[in-house]
Amino acid sequence: MTAMRSYEFRLANSKEEVAAALTLRRQVFVEEQRMFALSDADEYDPESIYINAWKNDSLLMGTVRCYPDQQDRSVWWGGRLAVHENYRLRGIGVYLIEAAVSEMQRRSVRRFLAQVQQQNVKLFEKLGWSKVGEQFISYGQPHQLMEANLHVFDASNRKQRQFIGR
Ligand SMILES: CC(C)(COP(=O)(O)OP(=O)(O)OC[C@H]1O[C@@H](n2cnc3c(N)ncnc32)[C@H](O)[C@@H]1OP(=O)(O)O)[C@@H](O)C(=O)NCCC(=O)NCCS
């Protein structure tokens, strides 16, 4: 009998699922990229929502967080997009970005912004995001402020994209 693999992308809905997201993020941004010396946790974590990509309901392959702007609650920020090293280049990153955009559309957010690492700008552009302003340095790395196009697709009419695990 062959075991069925199942993949699920969903909002973290327990302390344990949020903790799993924070652990994976730390692995990528602190241990792998060394963008932060000790911790990538920040003041936005407590009010963030986390979208997680699970394999077989137990293995966390990727995660992304979104949180509302402090000044303008109709603006949301996406960030800390991280896919586990062993699961890259299978479309999980793209799927997480699209899942975050869909969630923002569902919440009728006015603007959805992200500080994107320079090497990922093309990827976001392919997904309909646009550059806002010039490149800048954040945590020692070139970044670009980018904005999602929330209005091209009507979320309710949008065909759900199928994730095919490879
Ligand atoms: C960036 C990241 C989230 C991408 O996740 P992923 O699941 O590997 O991405 P996908 O498989 O969805 O690939 C998306 C596209 O980007 C391309 N891509 C992704 N990583 C790439 C790399 N390192 N070099 C070249 N191309 C890359 C893929 O080829 C793919 O292009 P395609 O649509 O033309 O095939 C992942 O590499 C990661 O966690 N990196 C470390 C943390 C980071 O940089 N986070 C983002 C901060 S803005």
* pLDDT for the residue numbered 139: 87
Atom number in ligand 1 closest to CA 92: 7
Atom number in ligand 1 closest to CA 29: 42
CA-nearest residue, atom 4 of ligand 1: 93
Domains of the chain: 7-111 (3.40.630.30)
- Measured distance CA(20)–CA(113) in Å, rounded: 24
- Measured distance CA(12)–CA(116) in Å, rounded: 23
pLDDT digits (tens, 9 = 90+) for 17-46: 999 999 999 999 999 999 999 999 999 999
pLDDT digits (tens, 9 = 90+) for 52-80: 999 998 999 999 999 999 999 999 999 99
Contacts of 154 (CB under 8 A, 6+ apart): none
Binding pocket residue ranges, ligand 1, CB within 6 Å: 28, 81-83, 88-94, 116-117, 120, 123
- Measured distance CA(139)–CA(137) in Å, rounded: 7
